[in-house]
Amino acid sequence: MSIKVLFFASLRERLGRGDVQLDASSPLSIAEVWQQASGEICLPANVLVSINQTYADATAQVQPGDEVAFFPPVTGG
């Protein structure tokens, strides 16, 4: 199983990647997903997180097969 990780907008440009597949056979924390997918240690405080296209907080657990997205504050409308 894998975890699909997406980055959007300025975060995607800064990291130089839009999506990453992580191999995962057991649940991971958001911090672990961030570290493995971004290559950076700490999740920046203003970065928003979703799991399976629903907002999640930084303490959530990610299951194998989940889709996780990291993105900056939203500016629509």
Partner 1 sequence: MIAVELHDGSFDPWRYLTDWQQTRQLSARSGATAVFVGTMRDFNEGDDVQSMYLEHYPGMTENQLHAIAADAQQTWSLDDVCIVHRTGEIRPADAIVLVAVWSAHRAEAFAACRHIMEVLKHHAPFWKKETLRNGTTRWVDKNTPG
Which positions touch partner 1 (CB under 8 A)? 6, 8-10, 13, 50, 53-55, 69, 71-77
Cα–Cα distances (Å) from 16 to 7, 13, 31, 50, in that order, read 9, 5, 19, 20
User: Smallest distance, Å, CB 10 to partner 1?
Assistant: 4
Q: Residue 23 or 73: which CB sits closer to partner 1? A: 73
Contact 52, 60 (CB under 8 A): no
Q: Residue 16 or 77: which CB sits closer to partner 1? A: 77
3-class state of residue 38 by DSSP:
helix
User: Smallest distance, Å, CB 75 to partner 1?
Assistant: 5
